[in-house]
Structure formats: C-alpha cells, structure tokens
Chain A
C-alpha cells in the first residue's frame, strides 16, 4: 500500500506549509488523500501507511481518523449519498428525501447496495441551508432535491459507473 509518485509529491508539498518538525499538521489533508487513493475508506493498513509517511505513532492517526465524520472506517459504495438531516433541511422536507432514497435503493441509512454502487449516509448540517434539501455526492453538493432529482442523480451514477468500467 503506497501512494503514487504524484500523491507523494503532494504530501511533501503539504508538509512544507508548516514549520519544521510540525508535519503532524499534515495529518488531516493526508488522510483525505489516502481516502481518495485507497477506495474511499481508511483501512488500518492505510492509516498505518499514513503514520509511517508522517513519522507518527499509528495511534495518533487512529484517534484523528475516528474523530472526524468524513473519514470512512469501513468500505463504502462507489457513490456515497450523504443527505443532510439537520433542522433547516428538515423544515424543507429532508425526511421525505431520505425515505425516498431508502425505498428507491432498497437500503437503509448506513447500508450499501449489494452491487457496491451506492451507500446512503445521513449527515449533520453541511452549510447549504438556503438550498435545502441537499446532499453531498463526492466533491460537490446536490441541492434543492426533489424525488425527480434523486431519480436523475441515481441514473447519472449508474451511467457513469457503466462508462468507467
């Protein structure tokens, strides 16, 4: 388990942002890189690799990886729907959107479809309250969600997966 040369350069670039001996500050950004590189989640091996890169004790990495909600500690589907359920989204119907996605994908919150394509997560406020209901999908937000939009997003993911395979 190693990073590509590109990613290794990126790690060095990140470490250079901090004072000497303070490479631990690179931990959050490097864990993001590791999650991207190693299939969307952080295995113990991936975390140990990050520890060795930054010359940290493995426990220093585990305690951080378990604290922040964006690090996945078990495998997830190719497309992760992270639907906001906090107050402002609730006022605009997020409960119905979550129920609809569950029914449409045939999975509960926290589960992944058997084909490994979709994972459904609920998350707390993502700072898009004026464009609610909304969810995060990969790097971007999908906002003003409706059932029709959910249908279209699922279709888009299925097609992208077919093209990428």
Chain B
C-alpha cells in the first residue's frame, strides 16, 4: 500500500557506503540524467509536480526555471540542510543514513541548473554529519560521478559541505546565502531574488535536502509517473518526522493519500498516543504552522476526513486548518499544557529573531514575556487580547517569514485554546499544580473509549 521512493533502501546493510548504494541501483539516475539536456531535466521536475519540501511547498521546477543565465557568470546550487524548524528531523535522517541519495540528487540538479560548484549548508549542530557527507562525496568522486568531465559529458561538478553555527534564521534562503558568505544570517530584502542575485551576487537556487533527493526517483521513473503518486497538487511522497506523545516517534515516508487518523493511530506509523493517553492537539507541519485541537485535526470543519497532504491540512485556512509545512508532526496528549508549549515556541522565536525588523525583534520578546506571566500565574485577561494584537502586528510586517512563523503559533493557540489561557489567568494557583486537560478538544472516539 505505502509507496516508498526515498526510504526504500534505508534498511539495506551498508547502504551509507558507495558499494552497497551502487549495487542496489544507485547512480542509475545520474547516468540517465547526464544523457538528457538540462532543459529536459527541468521539464521532468516540472511534470512531477514536486513542491519544495522545506516547508513553503513552492513548485521546484518553476523555481529552477527562474534562474538567470547571464553570459560568463557562474551559477550555484545550494542545498539547504539547515533543518531547524522545531519538530523537523527528516533531512538529518536522509543525510545520516542515505547520503548517496542526496549526492545523486545534487549531481543531477547541479547539471540541470549549470552549477559547477555546489554547496551543502548544514546546521552546525549536526556536527557529525559533514564527515558522512564528505565521505560519500569522496566515494562518488573516486567512482567518477563528481569532478571534471563527468561521464565524458564535459560537465564539471564539485560539492562542498559548509557548517552553520547555530541560527534557525539561516534556513531562510537569503539568510543562508549571507551566512555562506561569512556574515550574520540577516535575511535580504527581495527582490532581487536569489535566482538573479544569490551567493556572491551570482544566480543561485537554494533547495531543501528532501526536495533534492526527490529528484532521483523523478529521473528514474519519469516526472509523469511520479505525479501519479499522491493526490491533486500533493504529488509524490513526503517525509514526516513524527514526535511528541506518540508510541513510535520517527521519520516516515507517506504518499499523501492517508488520513491523519491513520497516520497517528496505525502501527505502520505513529502507533497511537503513548501511555494509553488521549489525543489533545497536534502541530502537523513544524512549529510555525497553526496548532489544531483533535477534533479539527482529524476532521475538517466541513466534517470531511483530514488527509496528510498539502491541500487537506490547509483546508479551512487558518481559521480551522493548518499546513503540511516541513512535515514536522508534533502530537500532544491530554496532559500537555498549550500555554506552556506556546511559551517555549515564543521563546524559541525570540531567541532566533535576527533583530533586523522591529516588529519581530520587539514583538517576539514581548509575546514571550506575556506568555511567561500567564504560564506562571501572573497574567491578566487583557493579556490574551494584547497577545493577539501583537502577533497580528508582526505578521506580514517583516523582511522574512520568521515574523509570520512567530506570530502563527501564538494566534492559533489563542484561536483554539482561548479557554485554557483564560483558565490560567483565572486560576493562578491551580494552574501551577495541574494542567487544564482535555476540555472539549478531544477526539470524540477517544473520549468514549
């Protein structure tokens, strides 16, 4: 039933190394792609319907087609491996266990974009992974898949790994470019877009790790076949990193035709809520996307079954829906406190704000302060409206999406769990010793059980 295009080889012994990878069909996609024209590869990716797997979901083929090709100016592909969105740990899995899948994707994509020098920008904390990637690069080079005149095509390609040093903001593509240039990770004002002026003012494409690995099955099977998997504009497979209060946290590959309920309760995936508890809420696409209470998570406001894909998860907009985002799937059981969790996220975004734009720099700190007061029994009812007001004034008023990312979780927590915030304010002592619990948010089936 479940289709695996990325993790299908994950359990083969020694698959991290070249010999096992090659023996199991590795580098066939590179062989095939290098006989195609770069334009034909871009076409296949367009036909596949692949959407950026970092969180934004922008069509990859379209992004590639924007790259400027001025005479005599080198172009660069940069792989965004700065995976830092809370709840997200899928790229780490790919790089750690299937490094050659990424290297293959990088060679094909570099050829399609005309990048002779390609960089993997990896978050600094993944400190052991550059060794794994560099070994895979060295193996690929020794086997003739990288370096000069690859397969006699005249195409030269080198891949280098660059470590960041601890900054969520560097996952934003222009901040990543600044960081790669040896600067603070301050996002740039767009336009110009990286496709015109990116790293060192050269045309640049920045793609997420998972996006680039997906190029390998797309070339192997053809864009049209890839597009047949999934549903609507959610084509192919998506990695979901599931965490929180579930029995089987981990990285799962789904084909986007399964329901949220199946994903949470099936033994093939999360295996249900841990410790026999009931489901309270979930953040389905990384910490920035709206949290949903169980009732709205499993069914849309229209009463339809909520599916694990881009369209269904965003059904209802922010009023009653959320987003697939990065696939960071954070599950809350009945004992969890939404106020406290929102406080940790507000603290996270305050810590990660680069400080360029005042709505984000000041607003994130202010939200954290108010949430701290509410959480520790010193809040006022008017604080809840004030929080709402602050998040609304951050959203859309900053250079990069970090402002939105900080605003949305606070907005959604208040939108769906306002009574829990009020209970904290009205019961300052009690809220220090017990959690609010499930109230009316529960998945009805579970309440009956």
Contact = CB atoms under 8 A, between A and B. Distances in A.
Interface stretch (A73-81, A85-93, A103-111, A153-161): A85-93
B330 A88 contact: yes
Given A124-B348, A129-B89, A130-B89, A70 B243 contact: no
A141 B123 CA distance: 14
A70 B117 CA distance: 27
B234 interface: no
Interface range on chain A: under 10, 10 to 19, 20 to 34, or 35 or more? Answer: 35 or more
B164 A68 contact: yes
A87 B125 contact: no
Contacts of A63: 183-184
Contact of B125 (A25, A85, A92, A127): A127
Given A127-B126, A129-B243, A140-B128, A71 B341 contact: no
B165 A71 contact: yes
B128 A124 contact: no
A87 B287 contact: yes
A90 B330 CA distance: 11
B192 interface: no
* Residue of B86, B164, B179, B241 with highest tally of chain A CB at under 10 A: B86
A24 B166 contact: no
Contacts of A18: 200
B127 interface: yes
B348 A91 contact: no
Q: Choose among A27, A85, A90 the residue with the greatest number of B CB atoms under 10 Å from its CB.
A: A90
A123 B340 CA distance: 17
Interface in A55-81: 60, 63-64, 67-71
A63 B162 CA distance: 19
Given A25-B182, A64-B183, A70 B126 contact: no
Interface residues of B, number: 56
A67 B185 contact: yes
B126 A24 contact: no
Interface stretch (A4-12, A112-120, A131-139): A131-139
B345 A127 contact: no
Contact of B181 (A22, A71, A85): A22
B344 A90 contact: yes
Contact of B166 (A69, A85, A91, A139): A69
Given A130-B242, A130-B251, A87 B86 contact: yes
Interface string A29-72: 10110000000000000000000001000001001100111110
B200 A19 contact: yes
A68 to B, nearest CB: 4
Nearest to B131: A139
A67 B353 CA distance: 11
A126 interface: yes
A146 to B, nearest CB: 15
Interface string B307-351: 000000000000000000000101010001000110011011001
B434 to A, nearest CB: 15
Contacts of A99: none
Given A124-B348, A130-B250, A87 B167 contact: no
B117 to A, nearest CB: 8
B263 interface: no
Nearest to A85: B344
A91 B241 contact: no
Nearest to B93: A130
A17 interface: yes
A107 B189 CA distance: 43
A152 interface: no
Interface string B269-286: 000000000000001000
Contacts of A68: 124, 164-167, 185
A91 B336 contact: yes
12 contacts: A22-B181, A31-B165, A67-B167, A68-B164, A68-B165, A69-B166, A85-B347, A86-B344, A87-B345, A125-B86, A125-B168, A130-B251
Given A54-B182, A68-B166, A127-B83, 16 more contacts: A19-B200, A24-B181, A25-B181, A28-B162, A60-B182, A69-B166, A88-B243, A88-B244, A91-B336, A92-B244, A124-B352, A125-B85, A128-B89, A129-B330, A130-B243, A131-B249
